[in-house]
Amino acid sequence: MSAVVMDGKALAAKIKEQVRLQVAGMEKKPGMAMVLVGEDPAGQVYEAGKRKDCQQCGIYYETYHLPEDVPQEEILDVIHFLNEREGIDGILVQFPLPRHLDERAVQLAIRPDKDVDCVHPTNVGDLTLGMESFWPCTPAGVIRLLAEYGIDPAFKNCTMVGRSNIVGKPQAMLLLRQDCTVTVCHTKTPDLAAECRRGDILITAAGRIGLITADMVKEGAVVIDVAVNRDANGHLCGDVDYASVAEKASYITPVPGGVGPVTRSILMENTLLAAKRHGK
Ligand code: NAP
């Protein structure tokens, strides 16, 4: 079997175009602000990507770039200012923050109705309870990719490798909401290969190059690689040994060009949703 490659770029372009068309018909445009701390080059690449996405969609965009040693009160002041700023519907803070900052305090400070990446405990709780809330962009992107390719998680086993608060845990919750049977794995899972082989859908977000090899994949499984790693040559790659796994899977996401672009487009959609909830 040679897997169908799930084209995240194409899906992202479609989602962004739908957002652009809706925004074009709005009198008051949605607005998004990103809060970035320090000089991490990766953070700056993400920032540039978000700026470009907003431009494409007609969404107003601002960045608050704070120094690495910014005091806690100052980042909280920025969040409080953005909470009250009428033109801003969505606030995105680039995590992780430098160690001297209290991430939880920052997450708690973001007004839940502007929390477009679902980090505030109120939104995380609502997501877990199955209530209406923002869906975190990366797990929501995975759900969209599955839907785009007509893959219904109901009555299927999913193995999720990774239990982080931003990917693994919310991914498991979203799949549960879709009647999937989910197993969440981590570094203390006794037999990772056996758990992976049970997955009709296998999602990996470990951040470990070469972790998922073909012998760990069920014949015909859907394999979604969320991870973004850099190999010895500085090229982007995921956790999955792509060439061999693509021979065994029915569907597979590439890295780059899979989950990443869809994640970014969901942020645009969530900002539009926030603007609508703000009466725009
Ligand atoms: P993280 O916080 O480091 O979590 C990694 C998870 O994987 C942890 O739960 C860890 O287990 C588990 N894990 C690591 N090595 C493992 C192994 N050998 N066997 C089993 N489980 C293992 O990372 P994250 O923030 O969730 O990000 C994960 C990856 O996704 C990274 O590569 C990141 O760059 C990427 N990412 C991509 C997007 C996107 O839009 N494409 C968005 C966010 C993140 P323990 O809990 O036991 O430590």
pLDDT digits (tens, 9 = 90+) for 225-252: 999 999 999 999 999 999 999 999 999 9
Q: Which tokens go with 259?
A: 């989950």
Residue span(s) of the chain under CATH 3.40.50.10860 come to 28-112
Protein residue with its CA nearest to atom 1 in ligand 1: 164
Catalytic residue among 50, 114, 218, 248: 50
Tokens of 121: 């405990």
Ligand 1 centroid–CA 125 distance in Å is: 21
Distance from Cα 204 to the centre of ligand 1, integer Å: 8
107 is catalytic: no
What pLDDT does residue 1 have? 66
Taking only the tens place, the pLDDT of each residue in 8-31 is 999 999 999 999 999 999 999 999
Return d(Cα 136, Cα 155) in angstroms, integer.
24
The per-residue pLDDT for range 42-54, each reduced to its tens digit, is: 888 889 999 999 9
CA 23 to centroid of ligand 1, rounded, Å = 34
pLDDT of residue 21: 98
Which of 6, 95, 135, 186 to mutate to test ligand 1, by most ligand atoms within 8 A of the CB atom? Answer: 186
DSSP 192: H
pTM listed for this prediction: 0.97
- Can you name the CATH fold of 28-112? Rossmann fold (3.40.50)
For CATH 3.40.50.720, list the domain ranges present in the chain: 136-260
Atom of ligand 1 nearest to the CA of 264: 40
SS3 string, 13-64, reads: HHHHHHHHHHHHCCCCCCEEEEEEECCCHHHHHHHHHHHHHHHHHCCEEEEE
* 136-260 has CATH 3.40.720.10 classification: no
Q: How many CB atoms lie within 10 A of CB 46?
A: 16
Average pLDDT for residues 172-185, to the nearest whole number?
98
Probe ligand 1: pick from 45, 50, 228, 236, max atoms within 8 Å of CB?
A: 228
Share of the chain above pLDDT 70, in %: 100
- Give 194 Cα–ligand 1 centroid separation in angstroms: 19
Identify whether 50 is a catalytic site residue: yes
Q: What is the pLDDT of residue 275?
A: 98
pLDDT tens digits, one per residue of 212-229: 999 999 999 999 999 999
117 a catalytic residue: yes
